[in-house]
Chains A and B, each alone.
Chain A
Amino acid sequence: MTTALLDFLTALALAPLLPGVIARVKALFAGRQGPPLLQAYFDLCKLLRKSGVYSTATTWIFRAGPIVACASVVAALALTPAAGRTALISFPADFVLLAYLLACGRFFTVLAALDTGSSFEGMGASREVHYAALGEPALLLGLLALARQTGTMSLPSLLGRASPLAPEAALVGAALFIVLLCENARIPFDDPNTHLELTMIHEAMVLDHGGVDLALIHYGSWLKLWLWSALLAGVLMPVALKTIVTPVPLVGVTGVLAVALGIGVVESCIARLRLLRVPHLLATALALAAVAFILGVR
């Protein structure tokens, strides 16, 4: 319980480190120096001090969107075992609740975007729900494959016992990695640094937010990245590492940072996909999860 609590608090504290790590890796590949590791913290502080500008078209939904989005990720984090260790709360089929909590946050982000009446934000919202509808089955089927393979139903146990040496777990890892990139608006699905609103997904939805609201949105999305990285680390980390007992939440943090490094490398090496090809890549993730499931059931 205490380790789970420590992991949870670490996630809350260190999540803004992830964008810094990814940016550093990308800068390394590009031969630049890159922004400071703690840049995200500076951004948060700056945004929290600002007041807001609100569109005259908006209602309370616009103000509620960032709050619900951020709170849903925090709630989902309580179910997430850091790198396959323990979670604050776990029970059979808890990964369903995790997926639906994230969906709840997404729903409010999308509504807040539609509340502004901007066509760009409508575009982003449309893409977001479209891709999520393809990513969600891949996530649940992948975790189900691990559940069948390990014979357990709750996240900590099924991730804790999943061995990356088994082909099933490796396939699930690949599928989850694709969905992670999509869910967290990374290349090849979405370019967090793009400057063309027409091609954005996540950033297009939050064009009108500013100040404290934007801080909540950013913090929520970094937490979400941490959550997904922790899940993926749970699949891919060798069992021996997952079970090490340390007084500090070192294992979880190492796993998450390793995944962040991986994301940075992938982002440096491949280009953005055309939007029309995105469903195809997500279908590939679903296919990988399905192959893992069928192999695991055998």
Chain B
Amino acid sequence: MTQTLIALAALLVSASAALGLRSRARAASRLGAAGSPAALAICVVALIRVLSSGHAVALRVSWAEPFGELTLGIDALSSFFLLIILSLSVVTALYGVGYLERSSQSSVSWFFFNLLVASMIVVVIARHVLVFLLAWETMALTSFFLVAHHHGQRSVRRASWIYLIASHLGSFFLLPMFFLLAPAGGSLAFSDLGHALAPWAASSCFVLAVIGFGCKAGLMPLHVWLPEAHPAAPSHVSALMSGVMIKMGVYGLLRVAMLLGEPPLWWGWLLLALGAISALLGVLFALAQHDLKRLLAYHSVENVGIIVLGIGVGFTGLSSGAPHVAVLGFTGALLHVLNHAVFKGLLFLGAGSVLRATHTAEIDELGGLMRRMPVTGSTFLVGCLSICGLPPFNGFVSEFLIYWAMIAGVLSLTAATAVPLGATVAVLASVGGLALACFAKAFGIVFLGLPRRTTPQSVVENGPSMTAPMVLLAAACLALGLSGPLLAPAVATVVADLHAPIDAASIHATTRVLSRVTLIAAAFMALVAAMALVRHRLLCRRESRAAPTWDCGYVAPSATMQYTASSFAQPIVDLYGSLLRTRKRLDAPEIHFPEAAHLETETPDLSREGIYEPLFEAIGVALRRMLVLQHGQLHIYVLAVVLTLIALLLWQVGWNS
């Protein structure tokens, strides 16, 4: 506990140092980036100890605020999230040093970066409603300032406003939730919340939590801010936000669910439905995008959907008396939180590297970057493989556990539960196939082939401050992918915290299966290496020729004739056209001889256009009617105040009598 507080202090010191050294940018960015590594170094041992033993530690300080004392605590769930927060913030901070090199406002950015990390830490260790909400709001505000880093651009300002409003709408649902949870007139410490809650109150709390936290996590109808904020933010900030900050929503959901006790069956259904919708629509909208970072943002929606599917299976298992299903589902969901932090962090850093070298994130303008930026390309490929859940990388381990949980549920539960679970298996399989299509497009078009527009010769690989973090994360993807048998027991204490009855036997069974998965994955890698060696042996004495790509006899192929991202995704986008509502503008040549032609597609967000814009429009119209009250006549305002006071007085008198 003490170590974590010292780490927090280190972050705050680093933040203020960065702000204080505004005039000396280099020193400011060095000091600003040093905060996270220091914090990780200070508390990593203590956190691992909590995670492995499962013994929670707590701190209570009496505090002169109205609702009792300040309570903090670290249990297995907290330390699991803390480790992820700190590790990813270290990597992104390191990357940020290089990324913000030329920025004039890097010291402000580092100030908010460290505050963001600190506020996320406090969110996770808070055990008191007030502390939690304060940290939650600080997290939203600091990340708002980070998103608005390039505030000179109109689109960035717009995106950061959307983000701020969405965050506050989410928080708006958290307040009544805590209000329902708190005992009447009692303390607001988490340990006193949710006792003897009526079933309707517990269920309302749960729904409010799903909306409030789902907004932060980016669940499907509530995700509107993600595809706006991620492309606007600097890439290391997108990496941190997408890798860690949206997981705070998942954390909050789990924390509140722990307080609510035994879940009824329909909670699981709700989560399964939301998860399935987020996963499927997230990946479909990702397919239709042409902006690399926006595409990645939609994949965050998809992956949060997968995580929520895992949690949903866990709840379903808990409430229908199949504890082994619950254990598998929760384990898979938690590991996917970890894995997604690693590979999505890696992908956003890679996208940032591309953006910085080429000054565009428009996929259709890029191409052939693998030759110019080999490190970015290779590590981005690892990220793609991981996010598609392909063995031997880390995405597979967690997705496999979620699949296994679903299949085990289908086998052991009654028909009414098994059929929807089977449907989620089909959804997850479609999502896997579509994600593969999407990343084949993202990687294939950006890094392979030839440059589609004449890019300047100056495109070169970024410096080691930016490549080293990517290499580190890529190595982590592979290492985590091969260490499934170690990971599942490592999160066992967290799963136990979630009321899932986990015992040594079930840990052992999971470990045994995962070790076989690892065996196959390792054999697969060995096989690839062996075949590469044999191929090399066969070819090393023969002379191979280089020639232009064979284009089926066409004599003058040019780079503009390559398949583009839009053409690659077109069949799938068309198939799901009724969902995606892609807008096309086509100026086709009307005579037989080729002329200048033009095709433009845009896939706006369904829920933004279909739900939020009409909603806010309607609210705006309604509020405009209130303008009659704002007429500028001061004496009438005073009259209104007096009348209100008199009315309140009368009401109070009438109430008491």
List the B residue with the shortest CB-CB distance to A133. B433
Check B450–A117 contact: CB distance below 8 A: yes
Chain A residues positioned under 8 Å from B551 (CB to CB): 118-120
Minimum distance in angstroms from A280 CB to a CB of chain B: 10
Chain B residues positioned under 8 Å from A140 (CB to CB): 425-426, 429
Q: Which of A122-156 contact B (CB under 8 A)?
A: 122-123, 125-127, 129-130, 132-137, 139-141, 144-145, 147-148, 151-153
Q: Which of A72-122 contact B (CB under 8 A)?
A: 72, 74-75, 78-79, 89, 91-94, 96-97, 99-101, 103-104, 106-107, 110-111, 114-122
Check A207–B550 contact: CB distance below 8 A: yes
Residue of B388, B552, B557 ringed by the most chain A CB atoms within 10 A: B552
Check B543–A125 contact: CB distance below 8 A: no
In the complex, A57→B371 CA distance in Å?
Answer: 9
Partner of B408, one of A121, A129, A153, A290: A153
**Which of B82-90, B166-174, B569-577, B594-602 is found at the contact surface with chain A?**
B569-577
Partner of A59, one of B371, B517, B535: B371
Check A127–B547 contact: CB distance below 8 A: no
For residue A52, CB closer than 8 A to chain B, the reply is yes
Interface size class of A (residues with CB under 8 A): 35 or more
In the complex, A111→B433 CA distance in Å?
Answer: 15
Chain B residues positioned under 8 Å from A99 (CB to CB): 429, 432
For residue B657, CB closer than 8 A to chain A, the reply is no
In the complex, A107→B432 CA distance in Å?
Answer: 12
The B interface is mostly helix, strand or loop, or mixed, namely helix
In the complex, A207→B434 CA distance in Å?
Answer: 24
Known contacts A71-B524, A126-B570, A216-B531; A208 and B549 CB within 8 A of each other: yes
Partner of A132, one of B425, B427, B436, B545: B436
In the complex, A63→B581 CA distance in Å?
Answer: 39
Check B562–A122 contact: CB distance below 8 A: yes
For residue B422, CB closer than 8 A to chain A, the reply is yes
Check B549–A57 contact: CB distance below 8 A: yes
Chain B residues positioned under 8 Å from A123 (CB to CB): 563
Chain B residues positioned under 8 Å from A110 (CB to CB): 440, 444
Number of interface residues of B (CB under 8 A): 82
In the complex, A221→B526 CA distance in Å?
Answer: 20
Known contacts A120-B552, A279-B575; A141 and B570 CB within 8 A of each other: no
Partner of A116, one of B396, B422, B425, B549: B549
List the B residue with the shortest CB-CB distance to A75. B524
Minimum distance in angstroms from B423 CB to a CB of chain A: 8
In the complex, A30→B563 CA distance in Å?
Answer: 38
Known contacts A97-B400, A127-B571, A147-B410; A71 and B531 CB within 8 A of each other: yes
Check A103–B390 contact: CB distance below 8 A: yes
For residue B134, CB closer than 8 A to chain A, the reply is no
Chain A residues positioned under 8 Å from B538 (CB to CB): 48, 212
For residue B198, CB closer than 8 A to chain A, the reply is no
Chain B residues positioned under 8 Å from A298 (CB to CB): 415
Partner of A197, one of B411, B441, B542, B552: B552
Q: Mark B532-571, 1 if CB is under 8 A from A, else 0.
A: 1001001100111111111110000101011100011111
Minimum distance in angstroms from A113 CB to a CB of chain B: 8
Q: Mark A142-177, 1 if CB is under 8 A from B, else 0.
A: 001101100111000000000000000000000000
Check A119–B562 contact: CB distance below 8 A: yes
Minimum distance in angstroms from A49 CB to a CB of chain B: 9
Chain B residues positioned under 8 Å from A55 (CB to CB): 546-550
In the complex, A25→B562 CA distance in Å?
Answer: 39
Q: Mark B516-533, 1 if CB is under 8 A from A, else 0.
A: 110110011001100110
Known contacts A51-B539, A127-B571; A122 and B527 CB within 8 A of each other: no
For residue B404, CB closer than 8 A to chain A, the reply is yes
List the A residue with the shortest CB-CB distance to B519. A89
For residue B370, CB closer than 8 A to chain A, the reply is yes
List the B residue with the shortest CB-CB distance to A101. B391
Chain A residues positioned under 8 Å from B426 (CB to CB): 137, 140-141, 286, 290
Partner of A107, one of B436, B516, B523, B570: B436
A-B contact pairs, 11 of them (CB 8 A): A48-B538, A51-B544, A68-B528, A71-B528, A89-B519, A101-B520, A104-B524, A125-B563, A137-B433, A153-B404, A297-B422
Known contacts A55-B546, A57-B368, A114-B449, then 18 further A-B pairs from the complex at CB < 8 Å, ordered by chain A residue: A52-B545, A53-B547, A54-B545, A55-B549, A64-B532, A91-B512, A93-B404, A96-B400, A100-B396, A115-B449, A129-B572, A130-B572, A137-B426, A141-B425, A144-B422, A147-B410, A153-B407, A207-B550
